[in-house]
Amino acid sequence: MSNEIESILTENRVFPPFDNLVQGAAISGMDGYRAMCNEADANPDEFWARLARENLVWNKPFTQVLDESEAPFYRWFGDGELNVSANCLDKHLGTPTANKTALIFESDDGKVTKVTYKELHARVCEFANGIKALGHKTGERAIIYMPMSIEAVVAMQACARLGIIHSVVFGGFSSKSLHERTVDVGASLVITADEQVRGGKTIPLKNAVDEALGMGGCEAVSHVIVYKRTGGQVAWSEGRDVWMHDATANQASQCEPVALSAEHPLFILYTSGSTGKPKGVQHASGGFLLWSLLTVNWTFDAKDSDVFWCTADVGWVTGHTYITYGPLAAGLTQVVFEGVPTYPTVGRFWDMIQRHKVTVFYTAPTAIRSLTKAAEASPSHHPREYDLSSLRIIGSVGEPINPEAWMWYYKNVGGERCPVLDTWWQTETGAHMITPLPGVTPLKPGSCTLPLPGIAAAVVDEAGEEVEQGKGGFLVIKRPWPGMIRTIWGDPERFKKSYFPPELKGYYLAGDGAQRDKDNYFWIMGRIDDVLNVSGHRLGTMEVESALVAHDLVAEAAVVGRPDATTGEAVVAFVVLNQSLPEGEEADHIAKQLRDWVAREIGPIAKPKDIRFGENLPKTRSGKIMRRLLRVVAKGEQVTQDVSTLENPAILDQLSQAH
Ligand code: 6R9
């Protein structure tokens, strides 16, 4: 790692778009981008209507575009009818795409299975017929608790085909979380697997379902359909439990897709809010489908020849939008991966890119940071040891990507030939919102750059007034867009309160802090509650983290605020080093070094008051650092919150020990 000053606010490198990508891009050059933005701003309804007519297959055309009569409960294309699964699969039958590979599935132990669009269509139809035969109907809710698999995609698509609203629960969640979600959506059907396999280990899923359903309140669940992944031992409840292969046996490979209102809920996906209970984010069929398809085409500049790989799990929104729906609607070939990036070696991702000739690769900063560290420690699995020349675009999602990680990704994975697309969006937004476009946007490491056409993103103060360039504020979206959240399932009041606070003029409040630079580029400063105020200065936790990570000794860092009598808030940094855990004098020495480093990088104001070293950081299973818990630890208080969603709960004790 270099010692360059790479703090966000001093970042000034610019990487212009590559000529080969500008040529033939879906949106070509800044002029093409501006023209689309202008079209959208001049008449948003006409803009979205045109795109919805050109890109989606409708059973019944819509006459109304945006219905604002019950704002903020916006409705899009509400009197139109379509089917999402038909738009992902049936649309391709009778075209050359029918015989193209839709999914390249690679199991944890490296076994590869491919299915064409025609085969996937048949499998979805057979499963949908099986679900129907069990008596399930349009409008019911299904919980999907499955490993990454072709079967998981089939299950989601089969639900969409029937208008059964799915709620996917990440396979790493506990039976307690599963129970909570099953009750909240009032599920009548659960689709799961006997076990899942990750990193050579098997983890039971069906057992967890049995436990969850045994906790009470799930009496509406009449069937549990089980995909046999490993053949491991499972308990069986006769009459309720059905093997997936039995449900599909002898079913016809044709199943009429149900024509549904564009506003029919497609799925509910739970995400953490600022308080305890997770929010059931509800998405609609037409708008979500349109936005996921458009962003695959725009952001990833989808080409028929692409091999697309999004490494997310279908348990997260990224897996919904950029595995199950968007890429299929776009007719792409994509890789679906069961396992983890570090098994059997830390070169697994690079090996898979090489073998499957992946052209578009989309992953998370946390993966990049941990693989950076792993590659330095294990040179024979460093990306430079693999042929990654098939790549043309590489993307990032989930959290701010610090310039240090950005540069490593750009150089070592992208070979300085591929743009790094830092895509900002949320479960609630359905798909990308602020992101560079490959044939358009000059890149600045650490910035998600500019909003997509039609997305009225802005940075405002407490009264909803736009702030000047260089000043921090709330990230808002001023106009509704088709892919947006419709409501929080069962809690419309919380929806209004969380996302449309009255003082912000009816704008959508993202919950992130941001600022724009002199080129109007957006820089995300982390969640609103992650922006610190130290002696009246606004300071992004991300800024301090970025500075720390730029130090040679530091592998990863998380920064939180702690109330301080003198300065308002004080900076507390949790640091993972590139070496073994320091103790005693050595720890004091390194802490001082890092403090001075931050002071030099950003200014004395950002100097962490307290630095704690740990072997790793508390993370959710999706890789997000749990800053909420770190704030408790920083205050020296006992963690009383639920830590069941943590990947590594034991780390909290280690970090509690201030040196
Ligand atoms: C897609 C997804 C959303 C939150 C969001 C923000 C953070 C996501 C980001 C980013 C900076 C990016 N986030 N992408 N922050 N730069 N490119 O991750 O959805 O799980 O709902 O998380 O993640 O804080 O508000 P979700």
- Please say if the pLDDT value at position 274 is more than 80: no
The SS3 call for residue 65 is coil
Average pLDDT over residues 21-39: 93
Structure tokens at 146: 């499955």
Expressed in angstroms and rounded, the spacing between residue 484 Cα and the centre of ligand 1 is 15
Kindly report, residue by residue over 356-380, the tens digit of the pLDDT.
999 999 999 888 988 998 998 999 9
Expressed in angstroms and rounded, the spacing between residue 426 Cα and the centre of ligand 1 is 5
- pLDDT score for 3: 35
- pLDDT score for 82: 98
CATH number assigned to the domain comprising residue 391: 3.40.50.980
401 Cα nearest atom in ligand 1: 16
Domain stop point among 423, 444, 469: 423
Residue 241, phi then psi, degrees to nearest 5 = -90, 140
Query: Residue 414's Cα: distance from chain center in Å?
Result: 21
My answer on whether omega of the bond before 72 falls inside 30° of 0, hence cis, is yes
Domain check: are 497 and 540 in the same one?
no
542 Cα nearest atom in ligand 1: 11
Q: In 10 A of CB 656, how many CB atoms?
A: 16
Q: How confident is the model at residue 12 (pLDDT cuts 50, 70, 90)?
A: confident
Domain count within the chain: 3
CATH number assigned to the domain comprising residue 508: 2.30.38.10
Domain check: are 520 and 554 in the same one?
no
Kindly report, residue by residue over 72-90, the tens digit of the pLDDT.
999 999 999 999 999 999 9
Q: Helix crossing, 285-299 with 44-55: angle to 10°?
A: 90
622 Cα nearest atom in ligand 1: 20
Q: How confident is the model at residue 652 (pLDDT cuts 50, 70, 90)?
A: confident
User: Is residue 279 in a domain?
Assistant: no
Structural domain boundaries enclosing 511: 1-42+432-529
Residue 425, marked binder: yes
510 Cα nearest atom in ligand 1: 25
Contacts 24+ apart (CB under 8 A), 271-277: 271/317, 271/426, 271/427, 271/428, 273/494, 273/498, 274/511, 274/529, 276/642, 277/180
Kindly report, residue by residue over 144-153, the tens digit of the pLDDT.
999 999 999 9
User: Is residue 103 in a domain?
Assistant: no
Domain check: are 510 and 553 in the same one?
no
- Please say if the pLDDT value at position 275 is more than 50: no
Kindly report, residue by residue over 315-364, the tens digit of the pLDDT.
999 999 999 999 999 999 999 999 999 999 999 999 999 999 999 999 99
Q: How confident is the model at residue 529 (pLDDT cuts 50, 70, 90)?
A: low
Q: How confident is the model at residue 651 (pLDDT cuts 50, 70, 90)?
A: confident
- pLDDT score for 656: 80
User: Is residue 234 in a domain?
Assistant: no
Scanning the structure block, which residue is given the tokens 């079913």? Answer: 251
Identify the CA nearest to 221 among candidates 167, 270, 257: 167
> For the chain, how many residues are written?
659
CA nearest ligand 1 atom 18, residue: 398
- Please say if the pLDDT value at position 24 is more than 50: yes
Identify the CA nearest to 561 among candidates 609, 612, 515: 609
- pLDDT score for 7: 47
527 Cα nearest atom in ligand 1: 24
- Please say if the pLDDT value at position 4 is more than 60: no
Q: What is the ipTM of this complex?
A: 1.00
Give the mutation target among 316, 475, 512 for probing the ligand 1 site: most ligand atoms within 8 A of CB. Answer: 512
Domain stop point among 375, 400, 423: 423
Q: In 10 A of CB 526, how many CB atoms?
A: 20
Domain check: are 357 and 459 in the same one?
no
Expressed in angstroms and rounded, the spacing between residue 398 Cα and the centre of ligand 1 is 4
Task: Give the C-alpha separation, 42 to 237, whole Å.
Answer: 59
CA nearest ligand 1 atom 22, residue: 426
Domain check: are 375 and 487 in the same one?
no
Domain check: are 554 and 651 in the same one?
yes
Highest mean pLDDT among 251-260, 362-371, 531-540: 251-260
526 Cα nearest atom in ligand 1: 24
What percent of the chain lies above the pLDDT cut of 90?
A: 76
Residue 423, marked binder: yes
Kindly report, residue by residue over 579-638, the tens digit of the pLDDT.
998 989 999 999 999 999 988 777 777 889 999 999 989 988 778 888 888 988 888 888
Kindly report, residue by residue over 490-515, the tens digit of the pLDDT.
999 999 998 999 999 999 999 899 99
Q: How is the beta sheet containing 457-460 ordered, strand by strand?
A: 457-460, 473-477, 508-516, 522-527
Q: How confident is the model at residue 563 (pLDDT cuts 50, 70, 90)?
A: confident
Q: How confident is the model at residue 658 (pLDDT cuts 50, 70, 90)?
A: low
- Please say if the pLDDT value at position 444 is more than 70: yes
- pLDDT score for 605: 76
- Please say if the pLDDT value at position 288 is more than 70: yes
User: Is residue 166 in a domain?
Assistant: no
- Please say if the pLDDT value at position 475 is more than 70: yes
- pLDDT score for 9: 52
- pLDDT score for 530: 64
Q: How confident is the model at residue 639 (pLDDT cuts 50, 70, 90)?
A: confident
Q: How confident is the model at residue 241 (pLDDT cuts 50, 70, 90)?
A: very high
User: Is residue 494 in a domain?
Assistant: yes
Q: How confident is the model at residue 278 (pLDDT cuts 50, 70, 90)?
A: confident
Query: Residue 429's Cα: distance from chain center in Å?
Result: 11
Domain check: are 363 and 391 in the same one?
yes
Task: Give the C-alpha separation, 169 to 182, whole Å.
Answer: 9
Ligand 1 first shell, C-beta below 6 A: 271, 317-318, 397-400, 422-427, 448, 510-512, 524, 527
- pLDDT score for 505: 95
Expressed in angstroms and rounded, the spacing between residue 446 Cα and the centre of ligand 1 is 13
**List of E strands, 507-596:** 508-516, 522-527, 531-534, 537-540, 554-564, 568-577
Domain check: are 617 and 539 in the same one?
yes
- pLDDT score for 1: 27
- Please say if the pLDDT value at position 541 is more than 90: no
- pLDDT score for 172: 80
Residue 198, marked binder: yes
Average pLDDT over residues 219-228: 98
CA nearest ligand 1 atom 3, residue: 426
CATH number assigned to the domain comprising residue 615: 3.30.300.30
Residue 95, marked binder: no
User: Is residue 358 in a domain?
Assistant: yes
Domain check: are 581 and 647 in the same one?
yes
- pLDDT score for 88: 98
Domain stop point among 395, 423, 451: 423
CA nearest ligand 1 atom 17, residue: 424
Domain check: are 555 and 597 in the same one?
yes
Q: In 10 A of CB 478, how many CB atoms?
A: 16
Domain check: are 560 and 651 in the same one?
yes
Give the mutation target among 363, 426, 429 for probing the ligand 1 site: most ligand atoms within 8 A of CB. Answer: 426
Residue 568, marked binder: no
User: Is residue 496 in a domain?
Assistant: yes
- pLDDT score for 528: 78
C-beta separation of 270 from 428 below 8 A: no
C-beta separation of 522 from 498 below 8 A: no
C-beta separation of 605 from 595 below 8 A: no
Average pLDDT, the chain: 92
Expressed in angstroms and rounded, the spacing between residue 13 Cα and the centre of ligand 1 is 23
- Please say if the pLDDT value at position 538 is more than 80: no
What percent of the chain lies above the pLDDT cut of 70?
A: 95
User: Is residue 436 in a domain?
Assistant: yes
- Please say if the pLDDT value at position 273 is more than 80: no
Domain check: are 520 and 631 in the same one?
no
